[in-house]
Chain A
Amino acid sequence: MDLFLNLVASGLVIGSVYGLIGMSFAIIFRTTGVLNFAQGEVMMLVAYTAWTLTHTLLFPFWLLVPSTIVLAALIGMAVERLFIRPMTGQPIFAIVMVTIGIAITLRSLTTLVWGHEFEGFSVPFSGGVVEIGPVFLLTEQLAVLILFAAVSLMTWAFFRFSRVGMAMRATSQDETAALLMGVDSRRMSSFAWAISAIVSGLAGVMVSVLFARAPDMWHFGLKSFPAAILGGLDSPIGAGFGGLIIGVIGELSAGYVWNGLKEISGLILIIVILMVRPYGLFGEKELERV
């Protein structure tokens, strides 16, 4: 039981990271229909910037959090304004290719500016151990779980109750109708990229705290993509839960069956789920009226 509970806890921790990044995929997709393959790189860029704020410019933690959020939003909006908006009206495949280009550019830019070395990212709450019954968690792991819960709640509330959130949903459902109702779809796209960068950026900071600020951390973007598919690309909350499921399944299969399953069990699950629900666990089935 001890092993089982700790494996689940470990899976929830890594799953929260996948979930946060999965959510950021879904936020952009839901609003604009674009699959951003540079999500992991945006996450990395925000994490590196936050690292500079705290380790080079010595920002205190209370200032680091809002500064990182603002910077992440600016990064997201800049990417959208510079690379995505000029592609408006182009085939979706071309836009996806642009995001792949952005990914490679951001990877190179990051190593150009910060170099290849990996570094620790210390925050005031890191380094402690919390024992909950037989379960052991590092304080930073607990922080990831809390962050995931908070971001999920805020994302749900944002799309459910806020005017901007509702406008974004309207844009995703019927852009022409939304335009007729006075919704500025370009602004909505910009907001989506900003929010998505904030969510993945916070995940990136936590990845740096948990492991290291390293030039290969963009891999988390690739690993989180299945979470978004599993949960439903048009459902940010679903994508978040998709991350948790993949994390837990990965740890349990590695712990009880075979270690090699850790990386692939989530993908096997996706194949099975998509055969039954092609739009993901929480995604909405698209109905076409004829």
Chain B
Amino acid sequence: MKMLFRKALLAAGVSLLATGAMAEQGVTDTEVVFGNIVPLTHPVTASLAYQVIYGNTVAAAEWNEKGGINGRKIVIKDEDDAYVPANTVQALQKLIDEGVFAMLTTGAGAGVAATLPILEEQAIPTMVNFSPYEPAVNPVKPSIFMIGASYEDLLFGEIKYIIENKMDGKTPKIGVIRQDDDFGKQVEAAFSRSIKDFDLDYADPLTFKRGQKDFGAEILKMRAAGVNILIAGGVTSEIPAMAKEAAKFKMDLQIATVPTGQLTPIVKLMQPTGFTYFSGDYVSPLGSKGAEHFEAMAKKHLTEEEFKGLSRYSLTAYAASLIMFKAAEACGKDLTRACISEKLASGEKFETNGITQPISFSSDKHIAATETLVVEIDSKTGASKAVTELMDF
């Protein structure tokens, strides 16, 4: 009897171990848990963080309505990193402890950089999209994928357009005022590449600490150097602050900005400056035909207030979530991290319901949707229009 009991205990133990080994963290018979890290409490970027969450929410709600991922309900756990890389690491650790299967967002550029070693070591499928950070996928890391052109490509596209179409015979002289962090380094990379590729005259690049509001000295230096193309490398309200100073000195300036330049609050703050300026993007703008399906879903699954808060960041988050969910579904019932990474890298084309061109990755290229278009924004009227087709830079 005693022997029988021991055997039964052993069998139960072996079966438990076997189940444990097979079951993937964050996946049960009824649920798949995804994680999301965004700067919810950072005063400047919090609104962008919410816009990302709205995009994720719409994608999950749409998918769950259709029965989830092979019958498993999608659950998203959001964590806040307040735009501090150390917090991004803590947030990721917390999500891992709570049993997250894959990551839909891992913070802004510096946050992505900080979490890369953990993501790579634990082979967590991750979709970088909030803030394109090329080192995340170059060199290729098996479980990490990214959609969206880098800031370097986006800004380079704008500079190219400006030089080819907006100089009216004037000799271009370029300047950059950029944040002193990883984001800013990407901005400066566009500046350096433009100088090299177009053999441009330039003013020395200037950096500023995150949170700086007054750009009097910086703009005065640009003016003294005779700059007529400025990369305004702020994230949000720094862009209109620079433009306001430039407008005060009646500078004849072409301004290139990162995609946040298209956000409604920025466009409104730019209005008194009277500048027509540029931004770049890789997703169909809200209100366009490409965003129709997303907007219909958002209307259905978000509150009226949330719907009003949508932006291009909601679109990119929605597209990234869809790709992740589709890859997960392709794995069938046997959903593992290895499988999802394999499916993503398989070269299969993932539709994003019109937001982007169909997206595909390969084993040696984990970045997609890198084609960018240039958007011209008339601050006086608030109107924006794409002035180029999607192009690869």
Contacts and interface: CB of A to CB of B under 8 A. Distances in A.
A216 B217 contact: no
Interface in A254-279: 254-255, 259-260, 262-263
B216 interface: yes
A6 B265 CA distance: 29
B237 A118 contact: yes
Given A118-B269, A120-B268, A10 B244 contact: no
Interface in A221-269: 250-251, 254-255, 259-260, 262-263
B46 A263 contact: no
A90 B212 CA distance: 37
Interface of A: 3, 6-7, 10-11, 13-14, 107, 111, 115-120, 122, 126-127, 129, 136-138, 207, 210-212, 214-217, 219-220, 250-251, 254-255, 259-260, 262-263
12 contacts: A3-B224, A14-B214, A117-B47, A207-B213, A211-B213, A215-B44, A215-B46, A250-B217, A251-B216, A251-B217, A254-B218, A262-B217
Contact of A214 (B43, B50, B208): B43
Given A120-B271, A259-B207, 20 more contacts: A3-B220, A3-B224, A6-B220, A13-B216, A107-B43, A117-B265, A118-B237, A118-B269, A129-B250, A136-B248, A210-B213, A212-B241, A212-B265, A214-B44, A219-B211, A219-B213, A250-B217, A255-B221, A260-B207, A262-B212
A219 B237 CA distance: 14
B249 interface: yes
Interface in B254-302: 265, 268-269, 271-272
List the 7 closest A-B pairs by CB distance, nearest first.
A10-B216, A216-B43, A116-B46, A254-B217, A215-B43, A116-B47, A211-B213
Interface in B195-243: 206-209, 211-214, 216-218, 220-221, 224, 236-237, 240-241
A118 B213 CA distance: 13
A138 B265 contact: no
Contacts of A259: 206-208, 217-218, 221
Nearest to A139: B248
Contacts of A215: 43-44, 46
Contacts of B249: 6, 136
A6 B220 CA distance: 8
Nearest to B221: A255
Chain B contact-residue range equals 20 to 34
Interface of B: 43-44, 46-47, 50, 180, 206-209, 211-214, 216-218, 220-221, 224, 236-237, 240-241, 244, 248-250, 265, 268-269, 271-272
A10 B220 contact: yes
A138 B50 CA distance: 34
Contacts of A263: 209, 212
Nearest to A251: B217
A116 B43 CA distance: 6
A272 B113 CA distance: 38
B40 to A, nearest CB: 9
A254 B325 CA distance: 49
A120 B244 CA distance: 12
